Amino acid sequence: MPASLPDNPDWWRSAVLYQVYVRSFADSDGDGIGDLRGLLGRLDHLAWLGVDALWLSPVMPSPNADWGYDVADYFAVLDEYGTLDDLDEVIASAGRVGIRVLLDLVPNHTSDRHAWFVEARSSVEADRRHWYVWADPGSDGSAPNNWVGSFGGPAWTLDPASGQYFLHNFLPEQPDLNWWHDGVRGAFDDILRFWWDRGVAGFRIDVCNMMIKDAELRDNPPATEDDPFIMQMFGQRPVYNGNRPEAHDILRRWRTIADGYTPPRVLLGETNVDTLENLATYYGSGADELHMGFNFPFIEAPFDAAALSEIVARTEALLPPGAWPVWTGSNHDVSRLATRWCEGDPRKVRLALLMLLTLRGTPVLYQGDEIGLTDRAFDKDELLDPVGVRFWPHYPGRDPERTPMPWDDGPNAGFTAAGVTPWLPMADAPMNVADQRADPDSVLHLVRDAIALRRRSPDLLGGEYTPDPVDDGLWVWRRGGTLVALNLSAQPREIGVGGTPPKTVALSSHRVSEGPVVEGTVDLDAWEGVVVTSRA
């Protein structure tokens, strides 16, 4: 860990995290693809914004069948992104401005080009054959069981040379590792240590709820009409191809390794599970599995006070003692919050960002959230995400939220050099970082000011979450002596905040009502949120 960063073991609880989708962040060498030196050149933006840690989407070598989530070597950096030295420089330079770096670990599967799979596929006798999940066909030659992959279609592909099928919960180019095998567990212990010894602050763990599968490969049961849409679409409940109790053994093993470092390395899981009860299990006792698990029921909820507040209250109630929530509204797999929750309405965007930054827990912003970046609509022939290609036109895939970061109003919005075609088209949205930085009323300044307020407020960092009942779109909660009021409705509202001690609106999402509270009430515009503190 760079010496400039304090050893506080709980740093991540008071942190604001920021997801860098490296391929779309900043291109330094004019090939239209974001890279590590491009990120280095933009660290000043992140330091100015005030974020505490970055999660870099996969930077390891990959043939990019699934844009980095098909890893071909866990100990190196993809050429297009730079070198291991560049990554070391990112870690050191970020550390100098108080920012830590987490990487993305993809343990459920490798690329089919990974040397382990090449060896495994070469012969049924190969040493590493059983590092992957192989099974014989059914008596009629069909797949070994009924599992469907998360990207649609059977989760099994026949290997004609051996006559066996291999399992892939995602693309056929992403064979699943066999986590029952001690060799796989040992290999990943080495991978964790390799990166953590270099000063990486932790990992975001890809699909960590799916790593281990039913040892008997039993058929999944059929979906019922009470199941979520996605299960009904796939026709089955993913009971046996993921979400197995033994996944927790792996997380406990990793937590022990993480806790051996100073400061302990952080485990942030992609816990894409259907219920909050299930999410809570990935925190273990509260101190022996994940430090943080992404809350997908929250991400997938409508932008509605009753729906969101209910999820927050239930999350708070269900997490084990000491466990810490994570709040996020966008990532590289879901439509951006500015589009999905807010339909591009800047009032709602500001409100959503204020919500993320004032709830109890760690907010994770996705690059572009800080300027309210929206999705871009794609035509079929522009799609690069295999999931979009497969499901078009019912689902456009994930390209809409992966477009390059707009830095200024120059050619290619400053993402790459003039005349270069970026790997994905730029968003059509009119916003960029430079314009917003020059405008104190911008979304960018609101986010920066909210991060700064949070950092100097013990209430916002650590205060309990104490909500009032939601009243017709008005969601009010207290964090210690600090009050947060969000008006998720089109009707202006007046709220009473009391006059003793005297209060002040420390931050308003519309920036109009900041300042001393007069007569103990605050007027909220449609879709406005405020943070009210006692006057010092």
* Site residues (vs ligand GLC, CB under 6 A): 66, 69, 106, 170, 206-207, 270, 332-333
Q: Give φ, ψ of 158 to 5 degrees.
A: -75, 135
What are the residues whose beta carbons fall under 8 Å from the beta carbon of 336, sequence distance 6 or more?
Answer: 330, 366, 368, 369, 373, 374, 375, 400, 401
In this complex, which beta carbon is closest to ligand GLC, that of residue 38 or of residue 68?
68
User: Smallest distance, Å, CB 293 to ligand GLC?
Assistant: 13
In this complex, which beta carbon is closest to ligand GLC, that of residue 114 or of residue 437?
114
- Cα 100 from Cα 90, distance rounded (Å): 10
In this complex, which beta carbon is closest to ligand GLC, that of residue 86 or of residue 176?
176
Q: Are 470 and 309 in contact (CB under 8 A)?
A: yes
Does residue 393 have a cis bond before it (omega within 30 degrees)?
A: yes
Catalytic residue among 270, 399, 401, 449: 270
C-alpha distance from residue 114 to each of 23, 72, 121, 181, 295 (Å): 21, 4, 11, 17, 31
In this complex, which beta carbon is closest to ligand GLC, that of residue 206 or of residue 525?
206
Closest-CA residue to 264 (of 15, 6, 3, 9): 9
Tell me, rounded to whole angstroms, the distance of Cα 200 from its chain centroid.
Answer: 17
User: Smallest distance, Å, CB 265 to ligand GLC?
Assistant: 20
- Cα 444 from Cα 372, distance rounded (Å): 8
User: Smallest distance, Å, CB 520 to ligand GLC?
Assistant: 47
With tokens 């019922």, the residue in question is 224
CA angle, residues 96, 98, 100, in degrees to nearest 5: 100
Indicate the residue type of 37. R
In this complex, which beta carbon is closest to ligand GLC, that of residue 92 or of residue 233?
233
Rounded CA Rg of the chain:
23
- Cα 99 from Cα 6, distance rounded (Å): 11
Q: In the annotation, is 464 catalytic?
A: no
Catalytic residue among 206, 316, 385, 525: 206
In this complex, which beta carbon is closest to ligand GLC, that of residue 207 or of residue 506?
207
In this complex, which beta carbon is closest to ligand GLC, that of residue 171 or of residue 517?
171
In this complex, which beta carbon is closest to ligand GLC, that of residue 66 or of residue 289?
66
Name the helix (H) or strand (E) containing 268. Answer: strand 266-269
Q: In the annotation, is 343 catalytic?
A: no
User: Smallest distance, Å, CB 20 to ligand GLC?
Assistant: 14
User: Smallest distance, Å, CB 70 to ligand GLC?
Assistant: 7
User: Smallest distance, Å, CB 270 to ligand GLC?
Assistant: 6
User: Smallest distance, Å, CB 210 to ligand GLC?
Assistant: 9
User: Smallest distance, Å, CB 411 to ligand GLC?
Assistant: 29
Residue nearest to ligand GLC (CB): 69
- Cα 527 from Cα 198, distance rounded (Å): 45
Beta bridge partner(s), residue 148? 154
C-alpha distance from residue 213 to each of 8, 81, 168, 178 (Å): 36, 33, 11, 8
CA angle, residues 27, 29, 35, in degrees to nearest 5: 40
SS3 category, 273: coil
Catalytically active residues, by annotation: 206, 270
